[in-house]
Amino acid sequence: MLGEFEYMLITAAAGLGDDAYGAAIREEIEATTGRKCSIGALYTTIDRLETKGLLKTWMGDATPQRGGRAKRMVRVTPKGVVAAKAFYDAVTRVSRGASWVANRTGSAS
Amino acid sequence: MRSTGWSFVEAAARPLARDEREAVLGDLAEGNENSWQALLGVLGLVFRHEAVLWKNWRPWLAGFGVALPSSFLLMGFSLSVTWSYLTIRCPELLQKSSLTLGSGMLVLLCQGLLLIGWSWTGGFLVGSLSRRTLWASTLLCYSPCLFCLSRFRVESLSRFCLLLFLVPAIWGVHRGLRISRLTLSWAMALAVAITALMLPGWSSGAHEWWAPPQWTLDWALCWPAWYLVGTAWRARSKTGLGGSDGLWGGQREQQTGIS
């Protein structure tokens, strides 16, 4: 079972598709969650997910914007998709009947 | 990107693997982070990587099971070897010790071989168990050395005689880093030879009441040799090669990319 941050990282990478790399994933996570994403948390999680076979990474092109340094490109593997779907299904199932789900428009009772 | 602050960031990123360093520094540059934030980010990543390495038992065994205790014991044994050398060189000391020149030389030879064997196997084990945590094992080995060097007060001896064990130990570490294990036959020969060299020391049973028996200290230095036999045995059982891969076991896999 994935952790919360692992799920967010996989989802962000999947959403970015061919443009998924460290800085873009970080920006996406920060924009959607409104929380700061440290570079340490990002890269150690990428390493862990790659070890588990849920992500594949390779070195991409260098750009002047990055001071001539290469990007670490990220792609979600089929195994990663299955793991993310399992996490999403579990969260959906466990959330059924929760006040904030049942009463979407009103306040929590 | 080339300010003084960024040179600190680049220096902090040194411990990272080359590709990872490239990607991280590029991401930080692209994110327009100031050098202080970037430095904290990089230090956080380096710390996390280090923490992941220490989740494994191997660096703990290498540092606190071998490097730290062995350096204390081997310094003592280095001193013992030096005394044996001085004894056979000085006729008065030789007479007092009730040894003949021949037996004194034999004792010195046994002790010298034992020092090399213990130090080399200990170093090999540290090198093979701790690669990226070698800095910690080195620190744990050198700290007692510096402590003892600073307190060594024997007029007739150079304080550097305490460090005789370092040369074979460093040689062992070097070999341990390059190759993952010894072949079973080689490891077994080494362990048996070291154990055999330990036996004469046990027969001279007299020791102070407060001191631990000689054999306990000897085994504390000998177990790395038998540990190497165990790993070679396990590797042979797994592969079923029977040590057909030459004198040394598997060559250390190339450390590439981000681990």
Please return the burial class of A79, using the count of CB atoms within 10 Å of its CB with bins 0-12, 13-18 and 19+: middle
Helix B101-129 / helix B214-239 crossing angle, nearest 10 deg? 50
Which chain A residues have a beta carbon less than 8 Å from that of B31?
A: 23, 26-27
Q: Give the pLDDT of residue B204.
A: 58
The answer to whether A39 contacts B24, with C-beta atoms less than 8 Å apart, is yes
Token pair of B197, please?
């060299």
B86 in any annotated domain: yes
The 8-class DSSP code of residue B64 comes to I
Owning domain of residue A44: 4-96
Residues B73 and B138 grouped into a single domain: yes
pLDDT band for position B250 (cuts 50, 70, 90): low
Which chain B residues have a beta carbon less than 8 Å from that of A20?
A: none
Token pair of B157, please?
């001896």
The answer to whether B26 contacts A62, with C-beta atoms less than 8 Å apart, is yes
Q: Which of residues 27-66 of A touch B (CB under 8 A)?
A: 27, 38-41, 43-44, 47, 50, 57, 59, 62-63, 65-66
Beta-sheet pairing, A55-63 with A69-76: antiparallel
B48 touches chain A (CB under 8 A): yes
Residues B82 and B166 grouped into a single domain: yes
pLDDT in tens, B128-140: 998 889 999 999 9
Which chain A residues have a beta carbon less than 8 Å from that of B22?
A: 59, 69-70, 72
The answer to whether B26 contacts A70, with C-beta atoms less than 8 Å apart, is yes
Residues B132 and B24 grouped into a single domain: no
The distance of B58 to chain A (nearest Cα, Å) reads 19
The distance of A87 to chain B (nearest Cα, Å) reads 24
Would the pLDDT of A11 be above 90? yes
pTM: predicted TM-score of the whole model, two decimal places: 0.75
Q: Give the pLDDT of residue A32.
A: 94
pLDDT in tens, B79-112: 989 988 888 888 777 777 777 888 888 888 999 9
Owning domain of residue B9: 4-53
Contact B129, B172 (CB under 8 A): no
Residue type for position B19:
D
Residues B151 and B166 grouped into a single domain: yes
Please return the burial class of B33, using the count of CB atoms within 10 Å of its CB with bins 0-12, 13-18 and 19+: middle
Residues B32 and B132 grouped into a single domain: no
**Please, what sign has the CA dihedral across residues A41, A47, A49, A52?**
negative
- Residue B179's φ and ψ, nearest 5 degrees, are -125, 150
Smallest Cα–Cα separation from A83: which of A51, A58, A55?
Answer: A55
Q: Give the pLDDT of residue B6.
A: 87
Residues B142 and B44 grouped into a single domain: no
Residues B43 and B162 grouped into a single domain: no
B81 in any annotated domain: yes
Q: Give the pLDDT of residue B242.
A: 47
Say how many domains are in chain A. Answer: 1
Q: For A42, which residue in chain B has the nearest alpha carbon?
A: B45
Residues B97 and B11 grouped into a single domain: no
Say how many domains are in chain B. Answer: 2
A105 in any annotated domain: no
Rounded to 5°, angle at Cα A42 from B7 and A77: 130
